Chains A and B, each alone.
Chain A
Amino acid sequence: MKTRVLVLGASGFIGKRVLDALSSSDWACPIAASRRGPNLAAAAGQPESLRLDATDAGQLRRAMEGVSAVVNCVLGNSRTIIDSARALFSVAGGSPNPPRIVHFSSLAVYGEAAGDVDESAAPVGRLSAYGAAKFETERLAAANPSIVTLRPGIVYGPGGAQWSGRIAQLLRAHRLGDLGRGGDGYCNLVYIDDVAEAVLRALRLPTAAAAMAFNLSLPHPPTWNEYLIRYAAALGAVPVSRIGQRRLRFESKVMAPPQKIAELIAGKVSPRLARRLPQPIPPSLVRLFQQEIRMKVGLAEQVLGLRWTPLEEGLRQAAAWYRPAASNSVVANSLAPH
């Protein structure tokens, strides 16, 4: 009999891929749950699906009846992230047979840390709002033996609007490129299929090995400059432009605020219009490009037995997805404000 696995946030980039991976397995029967709802399973053979507000404990309790595991890929603002995690952990904790939970945290919980960080590292400096929310969810999950926490770095690959689509768009517009000292930070890339594989392995981890957190990243991550230059080459967005510090500062401090406001307003008026607007490069992104943090991933390799998709292959797949997608606006759609 197959294991019933509820996937929260199943319409997102990671959720979708996890759903696919579970569907392809011979042991899992996934149930897709998302705020958008039921049309996910319109076609025959697609996973069962349901509309669900993951912050609502009552809805969650009903959805979790008869499931053995839950994967929490919920997206949203800080409030949604925290409330959905609190509801999930609370419902699971009240169950006589607590389900295995695979909970997504993030690289952002390390704050402004630099150097090599393993899973025991404490946050350094100021946490972003997103990082603080994820950190709070980890605090809520602490000591719960049924929860496995995954901390992916920069998740990229086909369908990845943020780190593949947006970056591709900025590279093609020559607004990103070789950033010089502004791109010396490490880009802790992890390919989307490797993230999905990590979920599958975490779901089957023996109980004794649960209650752990795992960093997910290439073991020898490139710098952001290397990522941008190699991705640009894969996209054919060459020659790569050198983007100086002055220009990056101008983009992030002067251009980004009005661009973001315009994007939000346009999103309310017309998604089509929003798609046509230039992507902002926020100061947080500029800071990330410079952050020399390298996630150590020995634990994921040893305990989960993970192997990593080579960067070259990942970039090839991401570029192959972006190029035709860009021409028929699928990417542009996915880049529109959520």
Chain B
Amino acid sequence: MIIDSYELPDGQTLLADVCIIGAGAAGIAMALEFAGTGTDVLLLEAGGRGEESDTQALYAGSVADARLHSPPDRYRQRRFGGTTPIWGGRCMPFDAIDFEARDYVPNSGWPLAREALLPYYDRANRLCEAGEFSYTAGDAFHRPTREIIEGFASSHFTADTLERFSCPTDFGARYGHKLEAASNVRTVLHANVTGLRLNAAGRSVDHLDVKNLRGGNFTVRAKHFVLATGGLEVARLLLASRDVQPEGIGNQHDLVGRYYMCHLAGTIGAIKIDRPPSSVWHGYEISDEGIYCRRRFALREATQRSLKLGNFVARLHHPRISNPDHRNAVLSLLFLAQLFIPYEYRMRLAGAGSTRLAEWFKHVRNVALGSTDAAGFAWHMLRDRKLAERKFPTIIIHSKANLYSLDFHAEQQPNPSSRVSLGAETDALGMPRIRVDWRYTPGDVDTVSRSVALLAEDFRQQRIGTFDYDPNSVETEMTRYGAFGGHHIGTARMGTDPRSSVVNADCRIHDVGNLFVASSATFPTSSQANPTLTLIAFALRLSAHLKTLLTRAHTPAPVQSEPRVCSDAVCEPT
């Protein structure tokens, strides 16, 4: 059932077996796993069913450098469904190498291998409505599919891996009816958690303080608590709950909020392919299940190891939209239509800095001269994106002249200086606002620089064509739009040692026996992959773990118990 905190009597205490904080992709995925079971679940959502400006304003905060990071109330939504109403839907799993401790990536290494997640990826994929968990062209298609560039074969890059696209699925709209129908899952809207209150010993969460914007408040007591918010809000809630642990929960070693990562993304260079246009395909293939899939150039794991590079993928892309010299009517149309495009997708259309009047006229000229192409594109976007329930994922412009740029998406190294902390200001509920100081390192620039150079060299050696770019521009291009929006990773990192991590391999705060985190906040490294699919897989894994714990709690203890084994350095409190 779904209820609203505005309808609850003031000062009430709600009880549950499991309390999940945040009804976004992770929280809803977890709640669905419990639906229809005997576990009493409380799912707390800070927002309502749609965007509400006063609720969204609770996300506001400050950034150290506005050029490098978007305002904290952008790219995330405080509402039922979380940020899924605005996400792009790109799905791909993390690679095996992402989980490894790599000596050339400082602070890398997870306390588990990719295999631990594999049992959950398939279900995560289905929840995202991205079809089968099948991420190579060879596996996903039982027919030949078009290559990015026919005949391209590289020992450094593979062009066989895929990204698959969700509808994109709005988890609230898609699965709300299941939560409505689940009698053992109570979803409470407008329930803003303002404090995780530990017991006196600080070893378990005793209760939650919850408030709404109309002055109402209530308390939640549960056996287990799960923080299923985004990476920024996880840090905020842990740091702001400092009544028992003055430095914040899980923050004895000053780790919460640090190692904050996004991805390094941008477009660079001018590629001219010396092949017939028919031998180049940078668009989508549609799988039998109707899923849009796309190949990309992915840096092979062996290359990453031998050259000591972070993870990296790239795609052929249209030339920069804001520069009218591309003389492409469709691109100019997009530039002119930017005001009608949501903020989160507009940045890359607008370009950096202001546009001169002469350039606006050039864009208008491009549209006028290519009005047929522009009209065809507008119809395609209306039919296949605006009106379609499964939306055409991105803008794909096929170049008759075989002119492209390179769009890249790279791993950002974990860096303790890149952090989310609490600012001095508070929001309408008295919660400290966050301050984001996102930073990148020379190692990040190195990964992108050398990977791009490697691809350019491959193109040259194989006589694919020319790839002209200024090597000195890499850093500028990878930060032109700042940190890649929406991917908030690493602020409560996972590990075995409480001195270097916040949660253990079960996503439990090391020294708090009943507090778990289901969020990209727990990822120690960022991979090349977008985080949503993997954070859902982790949420499903955590659900299975909690089910085991709850079952164990209901099972009478054997007369002679097994020796107690802890999965990390600190045992559960007794």
Contacts and interface: CB of A to CB of B under 8 A. Distances in A.
Co-complex (A, B): yes
Interface of A: 114-115, 177-178, 180-181, 184, 229, 232-233, 238-245, 292
B115 interface: no
Closest 7 CB pairs of A and B: A244-B389, A242-B390, A238-B288, A240-B290, A239-B286, A239-B290, A242-B389
Given A180-B129, A233-B289, A292-B181, 9 more contacts: A178-B390, A180-B389, A181-B175, A238-B288, A238-B290, A239-B286, A242-B388, A243-B389, A244-B388
Most buried by A among B174, B178, B181, B289: B289
Given A242-B388, A244-B389, A178 B181 contact: no
Contacts of A177: 290
A180 B288 contact: no
B421 to A, nearest CB: 40
B303 interface: no
A184 B175 CA distance: 10
B540 to A, nearest CB: 17
18 contacts: A114-B181, A178-B129, A178-B289, A178-B290, A181-B173, A181-B174, A181-B175, A233-B288, A233-B289, A238-B288, A239-B286, A239-B289, A240-B288, A240-B290, A241-B290, A242-B388, A242-B390, A244-B389
A181 B177 contact: yes
A178 B289 CA distance: 8
Nearest to A179: B389
A115 B36 contact: yes
B289 to A, nearest CB: 5
Nearest to A174: B290
Interface residues of B, number: 17
B287 interface: yes
B129 A229 contact: no
Contacts, number: 44
B146 to A, nearest CB: 15
Main secondary structure of the interface of B (DSSP, over half): loop
B288 A239 contact: yes
B44 interface: no
Most buried by A among B173, B175, B388, B390: B390
Contacts of B389: 180, 242-245
A292 B180 CA distance: 13
B167 A242 contact: yes
Interface in B365-414: 388-390
A184 B174 CA distance: 10
A90 to B, nearest CB: 42
Nearest to B36: A115
Interface string B261-288: 0000000000000000000000000111
A241 B390 CA distance: 9
A233 B131 CA distance: 13
A240 B178 contact: no
A52 B289 CA distance: 47
B386 to A, nearest CB: 12
A115 B178 CA distance: 11
Contacts of B129: 178, 180
B176 to A, nearest CB: 8
Contacts of B388: 242, 244
B557 to A, nearest CB: 31
A266 to B, nearest CB: 32
Contacts of B181: 114, 292
Nearest to A114: B181
Contacts of B287: 239
B323 to A, nearest CB: 35
Interface string B151-171: 000000000000000010000
B174 A240 contact: no
A184 B288 contact: no
Contacts of A240: 288-290
A180 B174 CA distance: 7
A244 B170 CA distance: 13
A229 B36 contact: no
A247 to B, nearest CB: 8
A292 B35 CA distance: 12
B159 to A, nearest CB: 22
A171 to B, nearest CB: 12
Most buried by B among A114, A229, A239, A244: A239
Contacts of B289: 178, 229, 233, 238-240
Nearest to B169: A180
B149 to A, nearest CB: 24
Contacts of A178: 129, 289-290, 390
Contacts of A241: 290
A233 B175 CA distance: 25
Contacts of B288: 232-233, 238-240
